[in-house]
């Protein structure tokens, strides 16, 4: 559906949700400005792993639809991985049986199959070829794509929605929506990562141990990203050395060569969780249109394009 809007649209939020929404609107001919508090490299999205798979997101039915639409886009972008940061990579989802994946994915992922014991010795798993996104490349690429479409990016911190100055405002502020809207139902789920030199691993893996602790590794250009954690209502963005050691230990239990890999970086991100994604149109006190698009938890990259299309339709009224 093409968007027909009179006047500017202001998108607030410079993470993957805000950038993708702004790109889609701008490429439909809408005059778009984007207000971003942080440079792309300092957003929560920059910390993401980032494997395409619906993770910690509600409502489930909508999330599947948004994810599948985004999958179509990422498959196209994977034709130019050096520019877009998107690659299609094989890997294993552990502690998952083929019949647990769901028809929504099985019908769309023809290569989906049960992992062999050699591929996943820790138990049952499924092998899949999924988009893996290098956010250090993808976020700057989205920003440049927005600028190429005529969009404008401004560094600005917003204290309240009332200070916005466009006839249509799209709120993609993630965790900041807790104070900005305000919406106290938005809460952080803390994720810590360890980035190491890649010892030669070219597939990804996601595993959950008997104690519920996550372990995953994602091969990105020039590095291997290890995770992870999901701490509810934890606000600290400082890496915890003990947590980092545990992450490396859990990943090395899956691939022993990880144990000796040199650590390059520690990262922490606060996923913007909510009981359900808020994707709806409302109005500011003065009657201007306000579209909310936030609360995507750990699945922002996975659903970005599907949510952007819905947000653009809502913005058009």
Query: What pLDDT is attached to residue 169?
Result: 98
Q: How confident is the model at residue 122 (pLDDT cuts 50, 70, 90)?
A: confident
Overall number of domains in the chain:
1
Tokens 């360890």 label which residue?
194
User: Which alpha helices (DSSP H) does 149-265 contain, by range?
Assistant: 177-180, 241-254
Identify the three-state secondary structure at position 291.
Answer: strand
Distances (CA, A) of 146 to 20, 85, 305: 8, 16, 14
Is 211 part of a structural domain of the chain? no
Query: What pLDDT is attached to residue 1?
Result: 39
pTM: 0.95
Average pLDDT, the chain: 94
Beta partners for 37? none
What six digits make up the tokens of 152? Answer: 């404008």
Q: How confident is the model at residue 55 (pLDDT cuts 50, 70, 90)?
A: confident
Distances (CA, A) of 305 to 54, 63, 184, 253: 13, 11, 26, 35
Is 140 part of a structural domain of the chain? yes
d(CA 123, CA 120): 6
Query: What pLDDT is attached to residue 3?
Result: 43
Instruction: Report the CATH number that the domain containing residue 177 is assigned in CATH.
Output: 3.40.50.720
Helix and strand numbers, DSSP H then E, in the chain: 9, 15
Query: pLDDT at residue 4 above 60?
Result: no
Query: pLDDT at residue 6 above 90?
Result: no
Is 204 part of a structural domain of the chain? no
Average pLDDT over residues 218-246: 97
Judge contact between 227 and 49, C-beta under 8 A: yes
Query: pLDDT at residue 109 above 60?
Result: yes
Average pLDDT over residues 52-66: 92
Q: Give the residue from 184, 168, 225 showing the smallest Cα distance to 4.
A: 168
Is 238 part of a structural domain of the chain? no
Average pLDDT over residues 286-303: 97
Region at 296 (left for phi over 0; alpha for psi -120 to 50; beta for the rest): alpha
Query: What pLDDT is attached to residue 232?
Result: 96
Strands (E), the chain: 9-12, 32-36, 86-94, 113-114, 125-133, 152-155, 168-171, 187-196, 204-208, 214-220, 223-227, 231-232, 263-273, 278-283, 289-294
Query: pLDDT at residue 213 above 70?
Result: yes
Beta partners for 283? 289
Is 100 part of a structural domain of the chain? no
Judge contact between 24 and 181, C-beta under 8 A: no
Share of the chain above pLDDT 70, in %: 98
Residue-number span of the structural domain to which 311 is assigned? 1-85+134-186+274-317
Is 67 part of a structural domain of the chain? yes
Is the bond preceding 72 in cis, omega lying within 30 degrees of 0? no
Identify the three-state secondary structure at position 216.
Answer: strand
Identify the three-state secondary structure at position 149.
Answer: coil
What six digits make up the tokens of 298? Answer: 């750990």
Query: What pLDDT is attached to residue 107?
Result: 84
Cβ neighbours for 313, distance < 8 A, ≥ 6 positions apart: 1, 3
Which of 3-17, 198-212, 253-267 has the largest mean confidence? Answer: 253-267
Is 163 part of a structural domain of the chain? yes
Average pLDDT over residues 229-246: 97
Is 168 part of a structural domain of the chain? yes
Distances (CA, A) of 104 to 127, 205, 207, 281: 16, 21, 22, 27
pLDDT tens readout for residues 166-176: 999 999 999 99
Query: What pLDDT is attached to residue 77?
Result: 98
DSSP 259-272: GGPPEEEEEEEEEE
Tokens 């969009």 label which residue?
151
Query: What pLDDT is attached to residue 5?
Result: 53
């Amino acid at each position: 559906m093409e968007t027909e809007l009179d006047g500017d649209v202001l998108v607030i939020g410079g993470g993957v949700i805000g950038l993708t929404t702004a790109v889609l609107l701008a490429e439909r001919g809408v005059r778009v400005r984007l207000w971003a508090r942080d440079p792309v490299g300092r957003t929560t999205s920059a910390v993401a792993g980032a494997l395409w798979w619906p993770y910690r997101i509600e409502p489930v039915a909508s999330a599947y639809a948004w994810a599948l639409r985004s999958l179509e886009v990422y498959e196209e972008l994977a034709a130019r991985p050096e520019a877009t940061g998107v690659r299609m990579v094989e890997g294993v989802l552990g502690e998952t049986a083929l019949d647990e994946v769901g028809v929504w994915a099985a019908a769309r992922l023809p290569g989906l199959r049960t992992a062999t014991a050699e591929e996943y010795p820790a138990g049952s798993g499924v092998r899949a070829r999924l988009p893996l996104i290098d956010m250090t490349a993808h976020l700057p690429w989205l920003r440049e794509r927005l600028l190429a479409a005529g969009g404008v990016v401004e560094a600005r911190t917003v204290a309240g929605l009332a200070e916005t100055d466009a006839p249509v405002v799209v709120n993609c502020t993630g965790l900041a929506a807790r104070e900005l809207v305000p919406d106290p139902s938005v809460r952080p789920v803390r994720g810590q990562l360890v980035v190491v030199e890649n010892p030669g691993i070219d597939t990804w893996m996601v595993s959950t141990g008997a104690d519920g602790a996550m372990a995953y590794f994602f091969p990105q250009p020039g590095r291997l990203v290890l995770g992870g954690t999901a701490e509810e209502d934890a606000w600290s963005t400082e890496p915890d050395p003990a947590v980092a050691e545990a992450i490396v230990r859990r990943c090395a239990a899956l691939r022993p060569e990880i144990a000796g890999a040199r650590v390059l970086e520690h990262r922490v991100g606060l996923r913007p969780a909510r009981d359900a994604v808020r994707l709806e149109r409302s109005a500011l006190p003065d009657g201007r249109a306000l579209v909310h698009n936030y609360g995507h938890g750990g699945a922002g990259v996975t659903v970005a394009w599907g949510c952007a299309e819905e947000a653009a339709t809502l913005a058009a009224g």
